[in-house]
Amino acid sequence: MSNPDPSHTAPAPLAGVRVIELARILAGPWAGQLLADLGADVIKIEHPQGGDDTRRWGPPFVTGADGENLSAAYYHSANRGKRSITLDIASAEGARTARDLIATADAVIENFKVGGLKKYGLDYDSLKAANPRLVYCSITGFGQTGPYAPRAGYDFIIQAMAGMMSITGEPGREPQKAGVAISDIFTGLYSVIAIQAALRHAEKTGEGQMIDMALFDTQAGILGNQNLNYLVSGEAPVQMGNAHMNIAPYEVFPVSDGHVIIAVGNDGQFQRFCKLLGAGAMAADPDFQTNPSRVAHRERLRTEIIAAMSRFTKAGMLAACEANAVPAGPINTIAEMFDDPQAIARGMQMELTDQAGTGIPSVRAPIILPASPLNYDRPSPRLGEHTDDVLEELERLKSTRKKT
């Protein structure tokens, strides 16, 4: 799958934008991958000895047709569509080459510690003189300012410090992180938004800027309604398992052969839910007539719902809810998700073929732009796969600039 409509030949939205990625692990590479999906030419600079750390973060590893280790699945989750060049930026020659590349670019993504690139002349202040339009996105754990700015940032620690773990998990049990690195991934997404906005500013004014992205800020910001629950009430939200602080019934319930999710969002849905359960008394109970009342009496409500649902199977419950317009859903494994007819219809799973004919699994970006489809022409690169091509291209660009 190269794009949802192979007959459509319009360029991807960011075609012509050139990005240099000096980032590794997840947040920065996630931003770079989405920019590549959107059509940007993303050149990933990696250290000659091993490259991005996630190349070794396995098993599982992707194996080439000839048995070659093509890096860990983790690496491939965040590096589709890029070109890889190996440079040792700690050397004078490597740093000079990186600066020359950045002089030809529209944007840079880096996730070094605060001030970590200054000694190589690869910080924003050093680079903007040669490229005033440069958009420079720095991704760190805690940002460029504040008492924690010098600290390294790790998603797990950020989820803990920024409140996420305090509201995740069962009441009275050990706090839990999310099952994926959401601080990293959301920071990558917000970085793409910021880069696009800064590119628009540069287009209008001719002036670039430095973007200051912090995992801590992102994780704090995406707590959404839970933030406002605290700021309005003065009471910090706590772990509630799968229950919802503001809505009931809105959680996981057992049935005769497993569990399903019931997500009743308004009073009409609740009345229809009671009807399909054959629970007339529950429908008429004054404690359950409105959502605030149901939240106030959620424990008794849950007990009565469990009793009424015990005669249903998963399939029977979900079918009854769908027939009565009551929001409900199964709890799929990742394998079941990919096998779901909806995921298949939406083309979420892809396979991209590299130059050696190896098919590498991938997952489409959750963006469909019919007039300017995203670009899925290239899988994650081998370490240094494009070094010669990029350096030859750089020499041509430098030669052209000298002539003009």
Q: What is the set of active-site residues?
A: 184
Going by C-alpha positions, the residue among 217, 193, 165, 183 that lies closest to residue 25 is 183
Within 8 A by CB and 6+ apart from 49, the residues are none
Contact indicator for 331, 320 with CB cutoff of 8 Å: no
Classify residue 63 by burial, with Cβ atoms within 10 Å: 0-12, 13-18, 19+.
exposed
Q: Are strands 209-214 and 135-140 parallel, antiparallel or unpaired?
A: parallel
SS3 content of the chain, % helix, strand, coil (to 5): 40, 15, 45
Q: Are strands 359-363 and 349-353 parallel, antiparallel or unpaired?
A: antiparallel
Within 8 A by CB and 6+ apart from 16, the residues are 39
Going by C-alpha positions, the residue among 139, 12, 61, 122 that lies closest to residue 382 is 61
Which structure tokens are listed for 166?
């305090």
Contact indicator for 76, 381 with CB cutoff of 8 Å: no
